[in-house]
């Protein structure tokens, strides 16, 4: 389920270790982004960051990073551009990522006078377990123990990021019906709860449209071919051709639409 949901996306597990818990005033001391690019090539970006301020003992006692570990390291400005390129347009997965990691990261960019990156969506595993009404406790360590996920080196950014990714996958396996949504619908559900069906009072929903391919990824609405999954769910191929040609190229590959006849039919229909 997670693989289908995230197909064709850059998917990155994200975690920070910091000087404290203030998203406005504290600084990053370690950052990790681990996952795959849209072409499934691996991404592993992990680095220590000099916060340009003393790391409080309480914070060091949690993540094990001390002033001496970051001495001589570059501050956030030295990794800002690379971090932006990775996160902007990506699917970000993390535990409490929306309300902590992303907010603190945004503060670092604004402090530099730069605009923060904008992920396609943030899929926060803390929000997932709350929506699924999983019994407490909801901290990452307890959840990993419950689901049999190894969390060696807990409270290092890379270990926590990887654990959040595995937790997300496990939740999609155990609760598949809750993840039968596009990634944007899934994020809306995590943030706001159940949304209305895609069927409106004046028309049919996607599930009412006839199949074009055996997997039901493409549906027919008159002369239009409608994408029935992923970030462009509900959109006609011609709209995607204009707005997101890179995604269309992926869609017309075997990794996007498995059925070769459907791919050729789309190319013919839209003169691709």
Domain count for the chain: 2
Closest CA to 154 of 50, 17, 58: 17
Q: Are residues 117 and 237 in the same domain?
A: no
Q: What is the pLDDT along the chain (272 residues), one digit of tens a residue?
A: 566 789 899 999 999 999 999 999 999 999 999 999 999 999 999 999 999 999 999 999 999 999 999 999 999 999 999 999 999 999 999 999 999 999 999 999 999 999 999 999 999 999 999 999 999 999 999 999 999 998 876 778 999 999 999 999 999 999 988 998 889 999 999 998 864 444 444 445 667 788 888 888 899 888 888 988 888 888 889 888 888 888 899 999 999 999 899 999 999 988 88
Q: Are strands 91-94 and 121-124 parallel, antiparallel or unpaired?
A: parallel
Regarding whether 217 and 111 lie in a shared domain, the answer is: no
Same domain, 245 and 163: no
Q: Evaluate whether residue 9 is within a structural domain.
A: yes
- Domain with residue 156: its CATH number is 3.30.420.10
CA distances to 47, 63, 72, 217 from 69, in Å: 11, 12, 8, 49
- CB pairs under 8 A, 24+ apart, for 203-210? 206/233, 206/234
In the β-sheet with 42-48, what is the strand arrangement from edge to edge?
A: 42-48, 28-36, 11-18, 91-94, 121-124
Residue 201's pLDDT is: 40
- For residue 260, the cross-strand partners are none
Answer yes or no: do 17 and 68 share one domain. yes
Q: Which CA distances in Å does 77 have to 73, 108, 113, 192, 250?
A: 11, 9, 10, 34, 33
The reply to whether the predicted model has a pTM over 0.75 is no
User: What is the distance between the alpha carbons of residues 39 and 222, in angstroms, rounded to a whole number?
Assistant: 32
One domain, residues 123 and 31: yes
Residues 157 and 258 in one domain: no
Supply the range of the domain harboring residue 226. Answer: 206-269
The pLDDT score that the predictor gives to residue 197 is 46
The pLDDT value given to residue 221 = 82
């Amino acid at each position: 389920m997670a693989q289908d949901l995230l197909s064709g996306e850059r998917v990155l597990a994200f975690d920070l270790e910091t000087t404290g818990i203030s998203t406005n005033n504290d600084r990053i001391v370690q950052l990790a982004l681990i996952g795959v690019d849209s072409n499934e090539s691996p991404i592993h970006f992990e680095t220590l960051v000099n916060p340009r301020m003393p790391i409080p003992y309480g914070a060091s006692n949690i993540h094990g990073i001390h002033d001496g570990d970051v001495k001589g390291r570059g501050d956030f400005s030295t990794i800002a551009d690379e971090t932006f390129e990775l996160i902007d347009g990506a699917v970000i997965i993390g535990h409490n990522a929306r309300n902590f990691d992303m907010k603190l990261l945004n503060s670092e960019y604004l402090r530099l006078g730069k605009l923060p990156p904008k992920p396609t969506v943030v899929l926060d595993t803390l929000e997932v377990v709350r929506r699924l009404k999983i019994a407490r406790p909801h901290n990452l360590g307890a959840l990993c123990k419950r689901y049999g996920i190894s969390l060696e080196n807990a409270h290092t950014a890379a270990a926590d990021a990887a654990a959040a990714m595995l937790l997300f996958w496990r939740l999609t396996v155990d609760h598949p019906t809750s993840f039968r949504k596009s990634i944007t619908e899934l994020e809306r559900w995590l943030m706001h709860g159940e949304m209305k069906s895609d069927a409106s009072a004046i028309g049919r929903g996607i599930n009412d449209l006839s199949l074009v391919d055996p997997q039901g990824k493409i549906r027919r609405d008159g002369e239009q071919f409608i994408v029935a999954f992923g970030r462009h769910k509900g959109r006609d191929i011609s709209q995607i051709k204009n707005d997101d040609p890179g995604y269309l190229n992926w869609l017309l590959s075997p990794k996007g639409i498995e059925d070769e006849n459907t791919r050729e039919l789309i190319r013919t229909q839209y003169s691709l």
